[in-house]
Every structure is written in structure tokens, then in C-alpha cells.
Amino acid sequence: MVEDDAFSRVALIDALKLQRLHVVAGVSTAKEALEAQKKFDPSVAICDLDLGVGPTGLDIAQVLRQRNPKIGIVMLTSYRDPRLAGSDLPPLPQGAILLNKRELQSMSTIVMQIIAAATSPLKKRKADWSKSHKFQSLSDTQIAILISIADGVPTSKIAEERGVSEQAIEKTISRICKNLDIPQLKDKNQRIQIVRAFFYGAGREI
């Protein structure tokens, strides 16, 4: 179990133990995760996507998989679309199962997915980040621009960074609004609505 938030880690481990799963280690950093893998050789790694500074759960999952090609991977995230965690993330390892913390209804769902990851770690699974959400309609570029907007970067700067004209960025922003159903209203600042949509997608509504 790789989770940087100690409280969540302890709570989840205890809950999984109650479900009669054998949790061999609960760790918070990449180093501890790799040491635990070396020591216990677990059949499944459950990684939180956002681990603060440094590697994400995906980075760790990639290395765990390199060292044991048959390890099952379960990724936990509160992002409605994990691409919002960063536009430069490594891909989800083959067979990895992505669970959205906000959509989980019971512990048995996690347990079922852990068992599925253990029994068929490499089974090709549809890695649609957020099947039920409108963020899926955004391209990677749109997601990257959305992140920049939420970061407070002005249009001119985004255009400069991406080596395109401001007009092109404005058009992309319009498409983002269209895809996310953000109307252009006189009494509402559209950019703020985009930022709100970003935080909603990131699982941190404002």
C-alpha cells in the first residue's frame, strides 16, 4: 500500500485486513515501496496517484512492474480524470486497475479489484480514465491548457510556452468550455468557471 497520507494509509490497511487481505506493508515513499517489494514480493501494489513532491503512484507502479512483471497494480485517485494530476504522467501499466476514490461505494469493490489485479495482472483493461465524465472528451493538449489556466498562467504566456498564437489558445479555451458545458455568461467570469471545473475534476471542489 503506497499512500503518502498516513491517516488514509492506516485506515485503508486496517479496512483491508478486516476484509481478510494480507497486507504486507504500508509505505509512503518510492524508496520504501521498492524496499517493501524486495522484502515481501507482494502480488498486488495499491498506489495512490498523488504522492506529493516527486514521483506519482504511476511512476512507482512503473518501477514495481519493471522489477516484477507480474505484479498486479491498483491505482487509487480522487481525480475524476487523472490527467489533471499532471500532463506529463507515465502511462498506466498494462492490466492496472484505476479506482476513483470518489466513486467507491464499498470496501468490497476495492477487494474485488485487488483480487482481479492479483489473478490477472496483465489482462488488457480499458484504461478509460473517467468513463462517466465529460473530462474524457478533452484532449491531452486541452487538459494541459486547463492545468495552466488553473495555475493562473495568462493566455499570452500559455501561447508563448506552447509556441502558438494567442488566438489558437483562445480557440482551445472555447472548446474546453464547450466540452465542459461552461456557458459564456455576462455576470460570470468564464476563466474562474474553468478553474472551478478543473478543481472539480481534481476532486477538490471549490
Partner 1 sequence: MFEAGFLKWRYFAIFFPIHAIIVLFLSAPANKVSTNFSKWLLVVVGSYLITAIPFALAMNFKWITDDGRREFIALVFIGMVRGFAILDIGLLLDLPQTKPYLLRPLNSAVNVPLWFMILRFLIGSRNEFKELFNELYVRNIKDRVSKVVPAKGKVQESEIAKIEARVLETLDPLRKNIENLAGAQMSIADLERERLIIQSFIEEKLRPLSHELWRQQKINPPKLHYIRNLFRVTFVTKSQFGYAIIPSFIFGVVGASTFESFAFAWRHSLLHLVIQVIVFLGYEFLYERVDSFRKYLNIFAVFLCIAIPYALDPFFLANYPSTSANSGAEIVAAGWFLLLSLTFSIAKSQTDFRKDLIASLLIDLEKSGSKENSNADLAAKYAKYLHGDIQSTLSSTQMQLQQASEQDDLKLGTTSIEKLASVLRRDHHDYVIGEAISPISKFQQIIDAWDGIATISIDVEDGEFSDATLLKVAEVIEELVSNAIRHGGATTISAQIGTLHGDMHVTFQDNGAPKKSGKAGMGSSLVKNQALNLQSTSDLDGNRITFQMAQ
1 contributes a contact to partner 1 by CB under 8 A: no
Restricted to residues 74-103, the positions that interact with partner 1 (CB under 8 A) are 87-90
When the beta carbons of 50 and 113 are compared against partner 1, the nearer one is 50
Using CA atoms, how far residue 185 sits from 150, 182, 188, in Å, is 19, 9, 5
Site string for partner 1, 140-159 (x = CB under 8 A): ----x--xx--------x--
CB of 166 to partner 1, least distance (A): 16
d(CA 125, CA 116): 11
Find the part of the chain contacting partner 1 (CB under 8 A) among 41-49, 57-65, 68-76, 114-122.
57-65
Q: How far apart, in Å, do the first and last CA atoms of the chain sit?
A: 29
Q: Which long-range contacts (CB under 8 A, 24 or more apart) does 138-142 make?
A: 138/81, 138/83, 138/176, 138/179, 138/180, 140/83, 140/87, 141/172, 142/172, 142/175, 142/176, 142/179
Considering beta carbons, is residue 36 or 98 the nearer one to partner 1? 36
Q: For residue 130, which phi and psi values (nearest 5 degrees)?
A: -145, 85
Residue among 125, 133, 134, 162 that touches partner 1 (CB under 8 A) = 162
Q: Does 54 bind partner 1 (CB under 8 A)?
A: yes
CB of 177 to partner 1, least distance (A): 21
Q: Which three cell numbers stand for residue 190?
A: 468564464
Cα separation values, 80 from 101, 110, 142, 155, Å: 9, 17, 15, 25
Tell which one of 7, 124, 152, 185 touches partner 1 (CB under 8 A): 7
Grid cell locating 105: 461505494
31 lies in the site for partner 1, by CB under 8 A: yes
Candidate list 15, 34, 111, 177; residue touching partner 1; CB under 8 A:
34
Which amino acid makes up residue 179?
A: N
Neighbours of 48 (CB within 10 A): 23
Q: Which one of residues 161, 165, 174, 184 is an interface residue with partner 1 (CB under 8 A)?
A: 161
Residues binding partner 1 (CB under 8 A): 4-7, 10, 27-36, 39, 51-55, 59-60, 63, 87-90, 144, 147-148, 157, 161-163
